[in-house]
Every structure is written in structure tokens, then in C-alpha cells.
Structure 1
Amino acid sequence: MLDTAMQTQLKTYLANLREPIELVASLDDGPKSAQTRELLTEIAALHDDVSASFDGDDARRPSFLIRRASDPAKWVRFAGLPMGHEFTSLVLALLWAGGHPPKVAPELLEQVRNLEGDFAFEMYFSLSCHNCPDVVQALTLMAFENPRVTATLIEGGAYQAEVEERGVLAVPATFLNGEPFWNGKLELAEIVARLDTGAAAAAAEKLSARPPFEVLVIGGGPAGVASAIYTARKGFSTGIAAERFGGQLNDTLGIENLPGTAYTEGPRLAGELKAQVDANAVELINLSEAERLEPAADSGGLHTVHFAGGGRLQARSLILATGARWRNLGVPGEAEYRNKGVAYCPHCDGPLFKGKRIAVIGGGNSGVEAAIDLAKIVGHVTLIEFDSQLRADAVLQAKLQSMGNVDILTSAQTTEVLGDGTRVSGLKWKNRSTGEEQQIALEGVFVQIGLVPNTEWLKDSGLKLSQHGEIVTDEEGRTSLPGIFAAGDATTVPYKQIVVAMGEGSKAALSAFDYLIRNEPLAQAA
């Protein structure tokens, strides 16, 4: 199961074990069980403190426990093989079971240990999902830190019947004590906040107690990070408040158009940006959703940003870089069948539609790339484009047209997503040339029609927004309000690209620098 390089790498990691761990497998006679036996045998051979047994009695077969030998009440179970994106999760589970300390803030670990109640988590992942490891690793860590938390992590492709029965059509999908808990990516702090009812008030109080920043950046994507690095290097006290650090990067797989970097992936780039933020002493306040902006009354005064949960932050200058999110179709059935066949991430959810009929809505680069990727997995793809022709790059169009299980519909307007009450069964579309309405039988719909700016929270702030909700900026990143600047996908700057966002973020930071040195702080900000 493990090639020589992986074995060497894993052996190096296992040298960090501080106490023995046990791998206990529940197997049947199938090929997946044979692979599981092979994997666990290879792992056990790499370190004397790892033992493997194959006499487990769990109903899910194949599956295996990883548990601490000295404290068997702390365990995590993998049902299916945690390879692909989840190999790192397997390595971390082994290390944490063996007493290797996690790289997590001590106060967050203490919060996990103090959770009251019994929490039995089941979480479904796919091996191609780049959002799933965060959830897998968070639940794994909780299980090893608190004996009242258990985590069973299930590879959906290995348990297709179970996935069908529970209506899982999007991953990561997490259940708690047998009931749906959350669909989508969650970080450890987010999970704990949902379980610890007293955490929100404490977090709000802590947030409001922080002294004012000279520069506060709202948003943790490429634009926001570039801004923060520039102002911090100018010597200004700088903070980033982000709903989700990394922004859209967390949902982006291959990146091949960033100058100087031949290829990277979004989560990896987000990690590199986080390291740069830390290196420049930028204070990161993650998982903070901006809810209302209260601009300063005078130049040199303090702008106030209010956050969901009741906390607030103040700063002499603001850089708004809240980015954008996937645009919805806005047709009947879309909201009702989200995560029940309507999906937005082909990399994450594509494997759940293996052999099935799906549609991709959108003929730009994102839509055509999604259709190409999905055509390798699903039974049939229908690409639906509103315009009279596809808008993707010619090389992508040629690749798509060469695939035998793809139909392309242009001048096609999606009018309704159909379902049977529990999952998608098809969609309706109208031929924009003839007015004829038609219907397609489907099991999944992937929406890839562009982005909408995250600016709803600014509508009553006095800040000028475009008719599309974008923050209006000038050539220097200034907004309509003094001391407030903006950059990235949330603004009117054309071409929503990573490299453009980084450049605009740097520009906004330089403009903020110019503003700060020309405007003396009022006494309240001194």
C-alpha cells in the first residue's frame, strides 16, 4: 500500500511517538479489507510502539481503530482507506494517539477537554476533497483530547450504500449523535464554538477588549494578507479579522497562473500566507464575521467594526478585503436541494456522483474545468451555458468537446432544479433562441456561474457600492469614506484573480500608509 518514499516519510514521523498505540481492524473477505490489512501491517512494521490486530468486531468492514494503549477510551476510527488527501490525517492521528503534542493554541485545547456531554461524531469524506482533511483532523484531535468525544471517519466511496441511505450528496458531511451536524468545512475552533454555548460571549468580550489598531484589515484572502504585510512592514500595528483565513483559496485546487510559481494549490498557498502573516507580527483574529461598519466621525478618529456575536474592533484606518463567494442560480429548487444534489465544489463532491448523470451550470473557465474533471468520474455531464457560446479558454473548450460523455447546451437558461423531496432528480431549462422549455433527468447539479461580493454588511455604512454590490474604489484603492480602503474581489476592480488581488491589496496598504502619516490621531486613538 505504501511505496518506499511514503514508508520512509512515515517512519520518520513515527519516531516522535511518546507511548504505544494500537491499530485494531474489523475486516471481511473483500479486497478493501485486504488492502486495509496490508496498510496496517506495513505501518506496524515501521515502529516498535505500533501494534496491529485484526480481530475487531465493528459492523463497518473494513474499518480500523487508532487508540492510545494506555488510555483505550480515546480513539478514532477510519472506515475505508485514508489515502489521497487524507494520508496526512492518518499520520496526525497516529502521532496524536502516541502522545505527540498538536500544534494548537493551549486555550483551545483546554476548551476541548472541558466540553460537557457525550459527542459521537460520524463524518463522511472523499479522497479527492481538499476541504475534508480540516474536519477529519479537528474531530480526530477532539477524540484524543476528550474521552467523551468519539470520531468515526468514513470514506464515502467505500460505503456507497450508507451514503445513499443517509442522503449524503456533499462532503465533508458531519453527523453528531446520529443527527446531521454540519455540511461543509469546519475548523476546530468553529466546532468547539458550536458545542460550547458559553464560548461566544467570552469571545466577544475578548474581542472588544483589544486596543485599537492603526490598520485593521477585514478579510484574510490574498488581498487582505498582502495589505497586512505591507502595513506591518511600515511599522504600523496591524490586525486581520477574517471570517475564514485564506478565503476562496481554501476551495481552490490547482493554481498555475501565479507568476513565479509554476504550480501550487489553494490550501497550500493559504498556509504560506499564514506563515508570512505570523512572521510579520500581524495579529490574526480568525473566525470573525463582520456584521456592521461604523465609520469614524472625523479624520484621525477611530472606525469601529462590529462582529457577529457582539464583539467589536477599532482602528485608525480600515482595508476592506472581504472577497466574494459562489453565485447562486436563484431558481426554484436550488436552496431546497443544496447538499442534496446541488453542489458548488466539483473536487469535493464529484466522487459521490460516480456513474451518475449530472449537469454543470456555467460555460466560463470554472464551469468547463469542472465539467472536464467530472466527466472522468460520473456517467454523463450536460454543460449548460446561458450565453450563445462558451466563454472558457479555447484549449479547455477543445478538451471538453473531445470527451465522449459530455453534451453542451448553449443559449440555455436554467429555470428550476427538480427533486423528489429528498434529492435532485433533474432540472428544467429554456432554449433562449426558441423559447422552448425542456427537462433533463439528473442526479446532481454543479453550479459554476461566478461570484458575488461579500458586502451585504456594508449597505447601511454610508460606503459607496456599485449596482452589483461591489465596493467602489479609485485607482489608489480609496473608498468613498476617508481612512477606509478596499481591495480584491469585493471591489469594482476588474479581473477577479489571485495576482490582481495581491497587487490591489498592496496598493490599498500604501494608500493607507499615506493617509496615516498625513492625519494625526485624535486623542482617543493615541
Structure 2
Amino acid sequence: MKTQLKAYLENLRMPIELVATVDDSAKSREMLDLLNDIVEASGKVSLKTDGSDARVPSFAINRPGTEISVTFAGLPMGHEFTSLVLALLQVGGHPPRVEADVIEQVKALEIDGELRFETYFSLTCQNCPDVVQALNLMSVLNPKIKHVAIDGGLFQGEVEARQVMAVPTILVNGQPFGQGRMGLEQILAKIDTGAQSREAARIDAKSEFDVLIVGGGPAGAAAAIYAARKGIRTGVVAERFGGQVLDTMAIENFISVSHTEGPKLATALEQHVREYDVDIMNLQKATSLIPATEPGGLAEVRLESGASVRARTVIISTGARWRQMGVPGEDQYRNKGVAYCPHCDGPLFKGKRTAVIGGGNSGVEAAIDLAGIVAHVTLLEFAPELRADAVLQRKLYSLPNVTVITNAQTTEVHGDDAKVTALSYKDRIHDTAHTIELEGIFVQIGLLPNTEWLKGTINLSPRGEIEINDRGETSAHGIFAAGDATTVPYKQIIIAMGEGSKAGLSAFDHLIRTSLPIDIAAE
């Protein structure tokens, strides 16, 4: 780590000052060790220990003589180590890797008074760094924006008092602002209320594409790369580039890469796509599809923002999302005890009672992970037996604080209006009702394809998946599909990439057989 820090901090362009608020606790000593390592790594960094922050331990990264400052409450290690390094560099004048128009948008924000953001994160949360890094950068670029990143696992009393039950949780001026993964563009869209209409008008004015990909996950990224390499006009409409991969922790079955993490892979996907001439329209949700009425005609994809995009061919790769229990109380207590990411939110339930819904690999892995943090885990499975791999089941049954209940049908989530207090289920064998008192419920029961917006337009299976043939063609002329939203079995990243590549090639083949690509036709 010291070697990495030294290399990174050679990019500092101006001095920075670390101001620590500490006491004699072990965590304070650990934080001071980290800060001293940073000071030793660069002559441009100094340290003071006379901070007066209300949270202990904490430290601010200041640019002397200016109002520019970023604050961390706790130790930004684990997934947040990168956030720390970027904060040091950006406060120290190193230019961020962000598009120039986005930087100018942050600087030009018209703000009455100040926006004081607080973000609660956990060190095991792979979604949190995007939020922390975005708000840190905004506070560096605009003096009216301040940000404190808070380790929720360290400040548990504060977390309970503010009823923070999911990370990342963002407050602004003490009021709720958002939960879950949010990038810089998403945060800007919430602050700059006119940004969405401006972007919609810009998208609406675009000329038609040869290939339009709807979805920015592994399938969509692969389709975009393969299409762009053919030299045809390629666009991507994505609700969030990276898709469900952004919510994936460890990836150990991506052939030739023994281990990676979802956010890291998603970043690499986007960087690869941007190496080609691909028009990426991020934060845009498709709401309807109008296929071409004749061969060689244009299909239209309408967006939630009000804009429309036209293309000769469309590849749908909208992926899937976590399936919900569909019981009373689930929606009411989402992010108030009902959670879907044990890696992210597990540390917030330290010492508490939890349940995991689902006995497949995801559910059993979640129960194993939680067992090392929480007081007790109850795993409920609808079927007569667990469906997870045998090695995972052996590990699960070896844990002393785990109870497994099969033939259990979840019926209701209970709470006190502020948080979850219990879970009810029915014993399917004896037809008896039971209630478990607990504080957290982690739902791990599979995936649901993101295809509701396509009903009545193209053929869907009874499960809602897009029906495709071996070339990725759908029931509509010029419309293709790939990835987890389709009937292709085995929802895996590497399979989605292969299917996306095939759809990209199929779309190109369709173009050259039915009409000339736009750029060629114009010559």
C-alpha cells in the first residue's frame, strides 16, 4: 500500500493538509498510522491532529488557503481505498478523468447557500465508492458543495439514530437525498433539474443509427464493440452502464481472469466501448419499442425522458433484476430492513437477527457471509431441499448461528413503520403459520427479466424472457436481443458477452442484406 501511495502521490500538483480528529481509541491510532503513511509518501502532504470534528475518528483533506476540503469519518479502506487516493489527488490539483462538459456543469451549478452531503458507506460495499467519489469530486469543483463520507459500521449509534439500514445512503443538509449506487451524472441530474430536459432535446435531435443497443451490461457492451468495429453508426441507450454487474461482488468464473469484482469489470467494459466511435446515452430508460413497418425501415425506441431514438436495427440487452418476494410489507420496508445485497448492507446488521430468503447458491453464500457478522441467520427455502452446491451446503450447516428452514413460504414482512421487526412464513407441509422476530431480511430468489416495456411488441416467454433464435433474432424484423433478458439458458456474464457479440454480428449481417448502412448509403 505504501508503494502504491508513493506512486500515486507523485501526481500531486499542489500541497495538501490532513487535519485529524482523534482520541486514544484503537481506531484513532489505526487512522493516524494510515495518515502518517500518506505523509511519508509525499513531501507535499502535511498532518495536523487538532481537528474538532464531531465524529471521532475522522480527518479532512484540505487545500491550504482555499475552501476545498473532503472529509472521511472512519478509515476509508477496503473498497473505499480508491476513494481516498482520488480525494488526495483531486484536492491536490490532479485533473479528474471526467468529461469536460460534466466538470463545467458541476462548476456552474446555481446553489442557494450550501449543499452539505453526508454519505454512509460500508467497507464491503462495492456500490458505495461511486457515490463517495462523485460527491468528493463535486466538493472539489464547487465551493458551495461539502461532503463527508461516513463508515456506517464504525458509527453504529449514529446509523441507528438516523435509521440508516442500507448503504450507500445519502443525506443533504440533514435530509434524505438518495440510496443505492449513483454516479456523478445521476447526482447531477437530481440537483440540476433542467439537465434532463436539455439531454432529452439533445438525444431527440440525433440522426438515426445503423445499430442501437438498449442496455449497457456485458451483452450490450459486447454488441456495441462488435458493431462499431464494422464501421457502422452505433449507439447505446443505458439506464446505467454496467447493468447488474455493478451489483456483483466476486467474479471467479470469467475465463482467463481468475478473480475480479463487478464494478471493476463494468468500468473496463465502458472504457473498452469508449475506445470506439460509439454514442453512449447513459441514464436513459427505454419505455417502448416501435419496430420498422417495412424491410429497411427505421425502428424507434422511446425513452422515459421524452426523447426518441431511431435506428435501422435494434439490439435489446436490458438484462434482469433481483426478483422480489411479492408479499405485504416488502415494498414498505425496502431499505428499512429488507435488502438485496448482503455484501453492501450486511455490516449494518452487526449483532442483529437476520433472515435470508432463498436456498440457491446466492442465498446460501449470503447466509454464510452474514453469519460472520450478525447474531443469527435464518435461511428460508420454499422447496423441500436447498438447491445450492454441496460444498456450500456443508459450510452452511457447519455454522452454529444459522438455522435452515425448508418448505417455507414467506407470507409477510412486519415492522414498526420505521424498520423491520419480524417475518412471517407458512410451513407448506403442515400448513401452519410462524413468525420470526428479526431486524433484517436479505432476498436472494433469482432474477426477473427487464422486459415489461416490450409486452405486445415482440414475443416473450411465459417467464417474460425475449424469445430469440440461434442468431439472436426476435419475432420483429430488424430487432435482436441478447443476454439475461432472453430465453438463452444459464445467466452468466461470459455467456451474455458471447450472445451480445453474436447479436452485433447478426445485426450487421441483416443490414448488408436488407439495406446499406447509413454512412455507406450517404456516399
Which range moves more in the overlay, 190-199 or 30-39? 30-39
- Structure 1 residue 79 corresponds to structure 2 residue 73: yes
Task: Measure how far apart 1:234 and its partner are.
Answer: 2.1
Which digits, 9 at most, give the CA deviation of each residue in 1:412-447, with x for residues without a partner? 000001111111111001000110110101110000
Residue 235 of structure 1: how far off its partner (Å) = 2.2
- Corresponding residue for 1:473? 468
Residue number in structure 1 paired with 2:3: 8
User: In the alignment, does 2:261 pair up with 1:265?
Assistant: yes
Match of 1:67? 62
Name the CA distance, whole Å, in 1 between partners of 2:397 and 2:161.
35
8 Å CA contact 1:360, 1:381 repeated in 2: yes
Letter in 2 for 1:443: E
Q: 1:523 to 1:40 in 2, by over 3 A?
A: closer
1-structure distance, mates of 2:173, 2:398 = 47
CA distance in 2, matches of 1:510, 1:61: 57
CA contact (8 A) 2:16 2:92 kept: yes
Deviating more after overlay: 304-313 vs 142-151? 304-313
From 133, 137, 141, the equivalent of 1:137 is 133
When structure 1 is superposed on structure 2, of 287-296 and 332-341 the one drifting more is 287-296
Per-residue CA deviation, residues 117-138 of structure 1 (Å, 9 max, x unaligned), is 2211001000010110000000
| Correspondence for 1:57 | 52
Instruction: Write the distance in 2 (CA, Å) between the matches of 1:153 and 1:265.
Output: 22
Q: 1:111-260 counterparts in 2 under 5 A?
A: 111-117=105-111, 118-260=114-256
Matched position secondary structure for 1:91: helix
The one-letter amino acid paired with 1:109 is I
Deviation at 1:194, TM superposition (A): 0.4
User: Does residue 96 in structure 1 map to residue 114 in structure 2?
Assistant: no
Please state how far the C-alpha of 1:197 moved relative to its aligned partner.
1.0
Match of 2:352 in 1: 356
Equivalent in 407, 431, 440 of residue 435 of structure 1: 431
Superposition RMSD in Å = 1.5
| Distance in 2, Cα, partners of 1:126 & 1:467 | 39
Gaps of 5+ in 1: 1-5
Contact conserved, 1:44 with 1:52, CA < 8 A, in 2? Answer: yes
Q: Which one of 480, 489, 493 corresponds to residue 485 of structure 1?
A: 480
Name the SS of the counterpart of 1:158 in structure 2: coil
Aligned AA (1:81): L
Q: Give me the whole-angstrom Cα distance separating, in 2, the residues matched to 1:485 and 1:523.
A: 19
Deviation per CA, 1:53-112, whole angstroms, max 9, x where unpaired? 0111111111111111131x1211111111111111001100000100000011111111
- How far the C-alpha of 1:510 sits from its partner, in A, is 2.1
Deviation string 1:340-396 (CA, Å, 9 cap, x unpaired) is 110000110011111111000001111111111111111111110000111111111
Contact 2:20 2:48 in 1 (8 A): yes
Single out whichever of 57-66 and 154-163 deviates more from structure 2.
57-66
CA–CA separation in structure 1 for the residues paired with 2:430 and 2:516: 63
If the length of structure 1 is used for normalisation, what is the TM-score?
Answer: 0.96
How far, CA to CA, are the matches of 1:490 and 1:127 in structure 2?
A: 31
One-letter amino acid matched to 2:80: E
CA distance in structure 1 between the partners assigned to 2:93 and 2:40 by the alignment? 19
| Distance in 2 separating the partners of 1:421 and 1:261 | 45
Name the amino acid aligned to 1:361. Answer: I
Contact 2:233/2:518, CA 8 A, preserved across alignment: no
What corresponds to 1:22 in structure 2? Answer: 17
Tell me which residue corresponds to 2:309. Answer: 313
* CA–CA distance in structure 2, aligned partners of residues 83 and 313 of structure 1: 42
Look up the SS of the partner of 1:284 in the other structure.
strand
* Residue 504 (structure 1) aligned to one of 490, 499, 508: 499
Given that 1:357 and 1:380 are in contact with CA atoms closer than 8 Å, whether structure 2 keeps it comes out as yes
Q: Which amino acid aligns with 1:256?
A: E
Q: 1:174 and 1:123 mapped to 2: Cα distance?
A: 5
Q: Distance in 1 between matches of 2:399 and 2:518?
A: 67
- CA distance in 2 between counterparts of 1:13 and 1:342 reads 39
Separation (CA, whole Å) in 2 of partners of 1:507 and 1:192: 36
Report if aligned partners of 1:359, 1:444 keep a CA contact under 8 Å in 2.
yes
Q: Secondary structure at the match of 1:152?
A: strand
Question: Partners of 1:321 and 1:63 in 2: how far apart?
Answer: 43
Match of 1:105 in 2: 99
- Distance, in Å, in 2 between the alignment partners of 1:384 and 1:469 is 26
SS of 1:52's partner is strand
Tell whether the 8 Å contact from 2:210 to 2:517 is kept in structure 1 after alignment. Answer: no
Alignment of 1:319-468 (within 5 A): 319-460=315-456, 462-468=457-463
- The alpha-carbon deviation at position 264 of structure 1 amounts to 1.7
* 1:96 partner amino acid: Q
Count of aligned residue pairs for this structure pair = 519
Letter in 2 for 1:116: E
What SS is found at the alignment partner of 1:449? coil
Residue 283 of structure 1, CA deviation: 2.3
Does the 8 Å contact 2:228/2:234 carry over to 1?
Answer: yes
How far residue 523 of structure 1 moved from its aligned partner, in angstroms, is 9.5
Asked if the contact 2:232/2:518 (under 8 Å) is kept, the reply is no
Q: 1:522, CA displacement in angstroms? A: 10
Structure 1 stretch 30-39 or stretch 56-65: which is displaced more? 30-39
Measure, in 1, the Cα distance between the counterparts of 2:224 and 2:29. 51
- Compared CA separation, residues 101 and 286, structure 1 to 2 (3 A): same
Contact 1:316/1:521 (CA < 8 Å) preserved in 2?
no
CA contact (8 A) 1:20 1:70 kept: no
Q: Quote how far apart the aligned CAs of 1:498 are.
A: 1.2
Q: Is 1:40–2:40 an aligned residue pair?
A: no
Deviation at 1:521, TM superposition (A): 5.2
* SS of equivalent to 2:193: coil
- 2: CA distance, partners of 1:263 / 1:61: 35
Aligned partners of 1:78 and 1:152 also within 8 Å:
yes
Structure 1 position 32, deviation (Å):
1.5
Matches of 1:109 and 1:229 in 2, distance apart? Answer: 27
Q: Which amino acid aligns with 2:344?
A: C
Q: More displaced, 171-180 or 253-262?
A: 253-262
* Structure 1 runs, 4 residues or longer, greater than 3 Å off: 521-526
What letter is aligned with 2:368?
I
Residues 358 and 442 of structure 1 are in contact (CA less than 8 Å); yes or no, is this contact kept in structure 2? yes
